[in-house]
Chain A
Amino acid sequence: MSWFNLLKANLRKEYLEMKRYLPNTIAMVLTFYILFIGMFFGIQIIGDPTTQDINIQFTIVNYIFWFFAMMTVNAIGWQITNEAMRGTLEQLSMSPMGIWKIMLMRLIASTVINFIMIIALLYLSMFTSGQWLNIDVGTILPILILTIISMFGLGFIIAGLSIILKQVQAFLQILQFILAGLTFVPLSVAPFLAFFPFVKGVDLVRAVMIEGVTFTQIPMVDFLILGFNAIFYFVIGLLFFFYCERFAMNKGLLAHY
């Protein structure tokens, strides 16, 4: 029950802060849309007309995933940096629930809220481009859940780094481009990326949404890779976070001000 209360509290906080920082939220959505329009018209003007439709579909899926990864993984880093500077991180660290649980609930809460926003943006992008993708919820959902778990692992790594590094902002800027690389590069170009966090998931979602692949057509080995990545990155992320928390408590780094 205490886990559920923790999740509810963090969901509510995420929602309230999004509402209170409404201009920021609107600016974020607008930036997303303007960039998408830019890419969409770019493909239409200078792209190869024979592959135009498929290119636009690829752009929609990649771009949506990149945005989602950024909001989930990067946001936790910014949040921790802000909390450390504000003085609230120490308060969170004093919770008898343990800070890792709070961070996990934060990740889940921001994912749920961002997901709702992403769905709206996905439909807006499809409506603008006139390219309607295959939204097979039954197939996409299990892929997405496993992919998000590996994203959380990455989120924990970023959260840990943000606790111990005062100047993590520069790294977070670079991380946006690393995430773009991971979401935009197709696995056919670099198959080894299948073992990187969420790359396999994005590839499978692309296959479902663009090529119309169904659940039964996805090889078992792909699900095994997804499952392995989810467990591996989540455990690694969590262990790294514990290490950073311990390091910060040794050096007195829980407050950056």
Chain B
Amino acid sequence: MEPVIEVKSLRKTYKKRKTKELIQAVSDVTFSVNRGEIVGLLGPNGAGKTTTIKMICGLLIPDSGTITINGQNNQKKRLKSLRHISAVLEGNRNLYWRLTVRENLEYFAGNRGESKKDVANRIDELLVKFHLKDKEKELVNRLSRGMQQKLAIAVAMLAESDVILLDEPTLGLDVETGYEVRELLREIVQEYDRTIIISTHDMDVVQDLCDRTIIVNKGKIVTDDKVENLLRLFEVRSYTISLSALLSEKQQILLDQKFPDYKYTPDTIGSKLEIDLAKSEEIYDLFDILKMNMTPVESIDRGTINFEQIFMKIVKGEQQNVLVQSS
């Protein structure tokens, strides 16, 4: 696959205004994005997601490292590289609220040097696609937040760039509109063959939409893998075991030593043991401990894990070793 974006050894440091303390916002970040891919950029607040996005957009100059967009260095050929990308950075704030839906689209097209006439058909198509046709003459400040968000994405689409960067596209949207935006993004990729990078806190967006996720924490990439790989990786090693007897003190000490994060809910009718295994072979150690007292096992359930839990585990560094091995 041909990479559309190549980010190499990116670094950005900020100085805090009051304390003059240096903050490493992005540290040695390297990744690439292939054509037609949807990549999720995940991370807690202050992880460096927005800084990375803004450096790709050419809005922020990195201290070191390079960003290549469609083969063009975005520092050396900034304006040329901007032809290949568009972005929604602040959602509904990226619009002119006193202009109508259509006027906004026309104005942003004009700012890219295109005439109203040239973009008229494209605008009509996008208005239909984004269910905004009946609102085209409405002032933006009279639209709901969801509609404003859709319009902001439509503006980015109008540019016909190869890559669209979206910073928190579902932030502040209700469940229904959030779902609608996700569906729209899915259609954009399928129908228009665009490459999308989404920076988000919304795990549903990542799980639903993204082919690949890059998790950043404290300015560094913690993991870069396919969403399905991460789900599989964590799912197979998370177990809930129902026991029809209590565990002895000795068994609990051994579990503590072997699986320090295990969760035990004792009950005379049916105890529950929740355990995450670092390696699949560890299940034999678990059986050995249970076998000691011939503890009766009622059932073993493979844990279902959602992306939010995976994210928390990765960011907390609980699964660092596993990830290193998996990569």
Contact = CB atoms under 8 A, between A and B. Distances in A.
Interface of A: 1-3, 5-6, 8-10, 12-13, 16-17, 20-21, 86-88, 90-98, 102, 246, 249-252, 254-255, 257
Given A93-B59, A94-B87, A249-B61, A21 B94 contact: no
Given A9-B110, A16-B103, A254 B61 contact: no
Contacts of A13: 96, 99, 103, 107
Contacts of B103: 12-13, 16
Contact of B113 (A6, A86, A254, A255): A6
Contact of B94 (A5, A12, A91): A91
B89 A96 contact: no
Contact of B59 (A1, A5, A16, A94): A94
B57 A94 contact: yes
Contacts, number: 105
Given A13-B99, A94-B59, A249-B60, A5 B110 contact: yes
B79 A98 contact: yes
Contacts of A1: 113, 115
B106 A9 contact: yes
Contact of A8 (B54, B83, B108, B110): B110
Interface string B70-86: 00000000011011011
Contacts of B89: 87, 90-91, 255
A88 B106 contact: no
B139 A20 contact: yes
Interface in B82-116: 82-83, 85-87, 89-90, 93-99, 103, 106-116
Given A94-B58, A252-B54, A252-B59, 6 more contacts: A91-B108, A94-B85, A96-B112, A97-B79, A249-B61, A252-B60
A91 B89 CA distance: 8
User: Which of B58, B111, B116 has the most chain A CB atoms closer than 10 A to its own CB?
Assistant: B111
Contacts of B98: 16-17, 20-21
Contacts of B108: 91
A5 B90 contact: no
Give the 4 A-B CB pairs with smallest separation, nearest first.
A9-B110, A2-B113, A87-B93, A87-B90
A88 B94 contact: yes
A192 to B, nearest CB: 39
A3 B113 contact: yes
Given A3-B113, A96-B83, A90 B94 contact: yes
21 contacts: A5-B115, A8-B110, A9-B107, A9-B110, A9-B116, A13-B99, A17-B96, A20-B139, A86-B97, A90-B59, A90-B89, A90-B90, A91-B87, A93-B59, A94-B82, A97-B79, A97-B111, A249-B61, A252-B14, A252-B60, A257-B93
Nearest to B118: A5
Interface residues of B, number: 38
A246 B58 CA distance: 11
Given A96-B79, A250-B61, A5 B114 contact: yes
B112 A88 contact: no
Contacts of A98: 79
Contacts of A86: 93, 97
A13 B268 CA distance: 74
Contacts of A254: 59
A197 B79 CA distance: 31
A86 B95 CA distance: 8
A250 to B, nearest CB: 5
A239 B192 CA distance: 40
